[in-house]
């Protein structure tokens, strides 16, 4: 009976130590179990992070990089993923959950940015100057079909990625999409 209690205390201590070591990561330390994602394309890495139990929180762009913040569902630990030229460069622990909670909540794809609702139907060539005037930064184009093109823009005040579908020279659809679409 006494041996059972000692073993029980020992096992409990080991479980607590393992739990606290997960929270003892220092800000800026690489996330060792995610090192295999360095140099992976952003959209592939996003899928892999979700499969490994991470939840996307928000993203911001600075210079030539995109910083996305993710929370590990089982521990609540926050990580930062730095993406450059469409590929993951680093995955590191942040200083705590405050970094993941600091940004806007994840946007729902396929919702229209309120500031651009009046642009649906606008002529594409003339509308680009208006987008820039409203604080949007062009990122890239992608051909969808022979008749339509998607352009991707960063919304200046939020850092969100916006997709604009142009067909027959006019803006047909405008909506928020996941941040990785705005990677070059």
CATH class of 114-182: alpha beta
pLDDT for the residue numbered 23: 44
pLDDT for the residue numbered 75: 82
Percent helix / strand / coil, the chain, rounded to 5: 35, 35, 30
Of the pLDDT bands very low, low, confident and very high (cuts 50, 70, 90), residue 18 is very low
pLDDT tens, 104-139? 555 445 678 888 989 999 998 889 999 999 989 999
Burial 125-140 (b: 16+ CB within 10 A, else e): eebbeebeeeebeebe
pLDDT for the residue numbered 105: 52
In the predicted structure, residue 94 carries a pLDDT above the cut 60: yes
Across 78-85, average pLDDT: 89
Among 77, 76, 58, 54, residue whose Cα is nearest residue 67: 58
Domain boundaries, the chain: 26-102, 114-182
pTM for this prediction: 0.48
pLDDT for the residue numbered 26: 67
Among 89, 88, 53, 87, residue whose Cα is nearest residue 70: 53
pLDDT for the residue numbered 20: 40
pLDDT for the residue numbered 67: 86
In the predicted structure, residue 2 carries a pLDDT above the cut 80: no
In the predicted structure, residue 97 carries a pLDDT above the cut 80: no
pLDDT for the residue numbered 43: 73
Across 158-163, average pLDDT: 83
Question: 3-class SS at 135?
Answer: coil
């Amino acid at each position: 009976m006494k041996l059972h209690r000692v073993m029980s205390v020992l096992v409990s201590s080991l479980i607590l130590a393992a739990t606290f070591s997960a929270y003892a990561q220092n800000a800026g330390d690489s996330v060792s179990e995610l090192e295999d994602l360095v140099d992976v394309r952003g959209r592939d890495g996003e899928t892999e992070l979700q499969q490994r139990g991470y939840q996307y929180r928000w993203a911001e762009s600075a210079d030539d990089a995109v910083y996305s913040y993710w929370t590990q569902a089982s521990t609540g630990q926050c990580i930062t993923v730095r993406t450059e030229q469409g590929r993951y460069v680093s995955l590191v622990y942040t200083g705590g959950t405050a970094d993941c909670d600091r940004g806007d909540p994840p946007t729902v794809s396929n919702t229209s940015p309120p500031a651009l609702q009046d642009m649906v139907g606008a002529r594409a060539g003339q509308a680009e100057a208006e987008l820039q005037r409203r604080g949007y930064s062009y990122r890239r184009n992608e051909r969808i079909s022979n008749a339509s093109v998607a352009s991707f823009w960063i919304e200046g005040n939020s850092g969100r990625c916006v997709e604009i579908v142009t067909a027959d020279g006019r803006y047909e659809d405008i909506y928020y999409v996941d941040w990785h679409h705005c990677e070059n």
